């Protein structure tokens, strides 16, 4: 868990930008001071202290990158400002180094803290920074203060950086929120699509199972009816055969009863067969199968689906039926789920001994085509019968071309 949180910090562009900018600002400050300190009134006196203060400031800046607790962040930010004050105070009217470090602090406050906390802290730090640009006295030396001209320029520059950084933080936060909503909606769409496909399969299976159970029931009735009647007839025929000739009247009665049983059994058998004949088990094949699949998917998603069957009359066997069905199902699902398409066009054409199927949608396509479980399954099924599949982005969307041998 801790490892995941640590990795996630490096996936946040604003936080990375803040720590990189701050690190560069500290390094640039060290470079500028090293080049300019001989021109400062307190340069030699302040040399070692400057490097120590900048080093501590950089350490606090790096700590901010790894801390998410707001109260701790605010404490470190004010410690950073205290170090900034101690760095800038002896420099007097040379405000360049102080302004570079203050800019990095502005970025950190804007990017690390949430609104409106970042605005409040920015305001406090800004007024402290401007108010402390007064007369300076260090090492018993009176150092020139920042000129009014430089102070006004610093104020305008600071307010500009504050405004831009806060706007960037808000814009990024809105973008992240939209991304989260898109991910949530995509997840919901995925679940609904999978559920819809599952329901289609379930309904088909249930219909088939119901018809099979009904057929079994009718066959049991026929068995029970015919078996019972024939058993009775056999028993009566045996009884009639055992009667002596002088009991002719009794024999005729038994035979008439057996005839009645036979007629009754025949009527019941015909009724059961008639019922079974009327309830046919219907399984869709070929183009009818595609029409049913497209119709259900179109009603469930609202996508416009156009199908052109070309010179296709039907498929050759159950295996090709199943492959075409799953390929079109996967293609339509991906167009809806990932491509956010509104129109899907499906075309069939038989050329020689090969069936060509094209699935073309007007969606956003895919920056990187990755074979997930569904696409990998399509490739395996199609290659398993010697076919080919081509999946690619096109100018107006996304396209899948399939070629299957019909032999």
Q: What confidence tier does 140 reach under pLDDT thresholds 50, 70, 90? A: low
Predicted pLDDT at 279 = 54
Please, what is the average pLDDT of the chain?
78
**pLDDT top residue among 206 and 360:** 360
Per-residue confidence at 217, pLDDT binned at 50, 70, 90? low
Measured CA to CA, the distance from residue 88 to residue 155 in angstroms comes to 16
What pLDDT is attached to residue 224?
A: 57
Q: Are 16 and 60 spatial neighbours (Cβ–Cβ below 8 Å)?
A: no
Residue 200 has pLDDT above 50, yes or no: yes
Q: Note the pLDDT of residue 278.
A: 62
Which of residues 23 and 367 earns the better pLDDT score? 23
Instruction: With a cut of 90, say whether residue 277 has pLDDT above it.
Output: no
Confidence band, pLDDT 50/70/90 cuts, at residue 1: very low
Q: How confident is the model at residue 276 (pLDDT cuts 50, 70, 90)?
A: low
For residue 7, pLDDT beyond 50: no
> For the ranges 22-31, 113-122, 270-279, which has the lowest average pLDDT?
270-279
Task: Answer yes or no: are the C-beta atoms of 65 and 80 closer than 8 Å.
Answer: no
Instruction: Tell which CATH architecture fits domain 286-405.
Output: 2-Layer Sandwich (3.30)
Residue 357: pLDDT band (50, 70, 90) is: very high
Residue 4: count other Cβ atoms within 10 Å of its Cβ: 7
Instruction: Choose between 374 and 100: higher pLDDT.
Output: 100
Where are the domains positioned within the chain?
Answer: 2-146, 200-278, 286-405
pLDDT confidence of residue 4: 43
Residue 285 pLDDT exceeds 60: yes
According to the model, what pLDDT value does residue 135 have? Answer: 61
pLDDT class for 360, splitting at 50, 70, 90? very high
pLDDT at 402: 92
Return the closest-CA partner of residue 14 out of 167, 130, 143.
167
pLDDT at 2: 42
pLDDT tens across 150-166, in order?
778 888 888 898 888 88
Tell me how far apart the alpha carbons of residues 261 and 348 are, in angstroms, rounded to a whole number. 59
User: Which run of H or E residues covers position 143?
Assistant: strand 141-143
Sign of CA dihedral 291, 295, 298, 301: negative
- Among the ranges given (70-84, 89-103, 382-396), the one the predictor scored with the smallest mean pLDDT: 89-103
Mean pLDDT of 284-291: 75
Per-residue pLDDT tens for 40-92?
A: 766 667 788 888 998 999 999 899 888 888 899 999 999 998 988 888 777 76
> In this predicted model, what pLDDT tens digit does every residue of 300-336 receive, in sequence order?
677 899 999 888 776 667 778 888 888 888 888 888 8
pTM score of the predicted model: 0.46
Distance CA(312)–CA(356), nearest Å, equals 10
Q: What is the pLDDT of residue 3?
A: 42
CA angle 23, 44, 29 (to 5 degrees): 15
pLDDT tens by residue, 234-269: 777 777 777 777 777 777 777 777 777 777 777 777
CB atoms closer than 10 angstroms to residue 275: 14
Q: Distance between CA 89 and CA 91 in Å, rounded?
A: 5
């Amino acid at each position: 868990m801790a490892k995941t949180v640590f990795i996630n910090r490096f996936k946040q562009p604003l936080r990375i930008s803040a720590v990189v900018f701050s690190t560069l600002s500290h390094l640039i400050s060290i470079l500028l001071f090293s080049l300019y300190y001989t021109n400062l009134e307190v340069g030699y006196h302040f040399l070692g202290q400057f490097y120590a203060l900048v080093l501590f400031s950089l350490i606090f800046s790096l700590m901010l990158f790894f801390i998410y607790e707001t109260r701790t962040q605010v404490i470190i930010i004010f410690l950073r400002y205290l170090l900034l004050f101690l760095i800038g105070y002896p420099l007097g009217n040379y405000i360049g180094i102080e302004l570079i470090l203050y800019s990095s602090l502005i970025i950190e406050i804007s990017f690390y803290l949430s609104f409106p906390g970042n605005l409040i802290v920015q305001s406090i730090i800004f007024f402290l920074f401007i108010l402390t640009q007064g007369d300076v006295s260090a090492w018993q030396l009176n150092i020139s203060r920042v000129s009014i001209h430089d102070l006004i320029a610093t104020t305008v520059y600071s307010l500009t950086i504050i405004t831009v950084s806060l706007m960037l933080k808000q814009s990024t936060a809105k973008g992240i929120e939209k991304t989260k909503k898109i991910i949530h909606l995509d997840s919901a769409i995925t679940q609904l699509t999978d559920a819809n496909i599952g329901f289609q399969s379930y309904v088909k299976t249930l219909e088939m199972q119901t018809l099979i159970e009904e057929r079994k029931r009718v066959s049991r009735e026929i068995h029970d009816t015919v078996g019972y009647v024939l058993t009775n007839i056999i028993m009566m025929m045996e009884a009639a055969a055992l009667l002596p000739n002088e009991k002719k009247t009794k024999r005729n009665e038994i035979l008439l009863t057996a005839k009645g049983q036979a007629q009754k059994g025949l009527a019941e058998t015909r009724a059961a067969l008639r019922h079974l004949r009327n309830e046919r088990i219907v399984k869709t094949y070929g183009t009818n199968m595609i029409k049913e699949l497209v119709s259900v998917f179109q009603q469930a998603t609202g996508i416009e689906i156009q199908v052109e069957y070309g010179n296709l009359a039907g498929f050759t066997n159950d295996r090709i039926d199943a492959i075409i069905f799953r390929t079109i199902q996967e293609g339509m699902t991906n167009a809806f789920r990932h491509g956010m398409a509104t129109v899907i066009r499906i075309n069939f054409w038989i050329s020689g001994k090969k069936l060509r199927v094209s699935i073309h949608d007007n969606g956003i396509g895919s920056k990187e085509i990755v074979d997930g479980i569904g696409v990998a399954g399509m490739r395996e099924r199609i290659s398993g019968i010697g076919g080919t599949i081509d999946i690619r982005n096109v100018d107006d969307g996304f396209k899948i071309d399939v070629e299957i041998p019909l032999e």
